[in-house]
Amino acid sequence: QVQLVESGGGLVQAGGSLRLSCAASGRTFSNYAMGWFRQAPGKERVIVARISRSGGSTSYADSVKGRFTISRDNAKNTVYLQMNSLEPEDTAVYYCARAAVYGTSPSNYDYWGQGTQVTVSS
């Protein structure tokens, strides 16, 4: 049984920052890479960032490079997404997910959180 719970979303002005957290259940958290995805209304769910099992490797969508940072604390079974210099285009529901394989497609991920809304106003 795997459960992922996101938190930290909210309303922020353009240029501001938010930190999202994803708390995971289970004793095998460190065995899995994790990813953050987002989905805006009427748009496809796309990857934002991913992180390897140990946290030693990360990857970002071009749209967020230099602004977002993914990290993890395996001792706390938690993945984070630090979002800086937020733009209205970042407005979406953000999801964390566990990777079955370390890919960029939603189909590469087998467990998902419920999502947390991020709204960036101009």
Going by C-alpha positions, the residue among 66, 72, 68, 41 that lies closest to residue 54 is 72
Distance of alpha carbon 122 from alpha carbon 114, whole angstroms: 26
CB atoms < 10 A from the CB of 87, how many?
A: 14
pLDDT of residue 26: 79
Mean pLDDT by 10 residues, the chain (122 residues): 94 98 91 97 97 97 98 96 98 98 97 98 96
